[in-house]
Structure 1
Amino acid sequence: MKLGLQLGYWGAQPPPDFVERAVEAENLGYDSVWTAESWGNDCFTPLAWIGARTSTIRLGTSVAQLSARTPTACAMAALALDHLSGGRMILGLGVSGPQVVEGWYGQPYAKPLTRTREYVDIIRQVLRREAPVTSDGEFYPLPFRGDNAWGMGKPLKPITHPLRADLPIFIGAEGPKNVTQTAEIADGWLPLYYSPYRQEVYADQLAGAPAGFEISSTVMVNINDDLATALYPVKAMLGFYIGGMGSKQRNFHKELMARMGFADEAETIQNLFFEGKRDEAIACVPDAFADEISLCGPKERIREKLQDWEDSPVTSLLIHGDLQLIRDMAELVL
Structure 2
Amino acid sequence: MHATAKGHIIQLDGIRFIAVALVLIDHFFSAVNIIPYGKLGVTIFFVLSGFLISRILLKSKEHYVTEPDGFKKYIRKFLIRRTIRIFPIYYLLLAILFILNVPPVREKFAWLALYGTNIYIGIYQTWLGSCDHLWSLAVEEQVYLFFPFLIFFVSKKNLIPWLAVMGIASVLLRFYFYFSGKDWSVSYVTMPACLDSFALGGLMAWLQLYKKDIFLKLFDKTWPVLLGLLGWILMQYWNKSYADIHNIVDVVFDRLVSSIFSFFLIGRAVTGYGGLTKYFLENPVSVYLGKISYGIYLYHNFIYNHYHSGPNHPTVRLIHKIYQHFPSLEGNLTFEACLFSFLTVIVASISWYFFEKPINSLKDRYA
The question of a shared fold, defined as TM-score above 0.5 by the shorter chain, is answered with no
Q: Please state which band the TM-score falls in when normalised by the shorter chain.
A: under 0.3
Greater per-residue strand proportion = 1
* Superposition TM-score, scaled by structure 2 size: 0.25
Greater per-residue helix proportion = 2
**Which structure is higher in RCO with an 8 Å CA cutoff and minimum separation 6?**
2
* Superposition TM-score, scaled by structure 1 size: 0.27
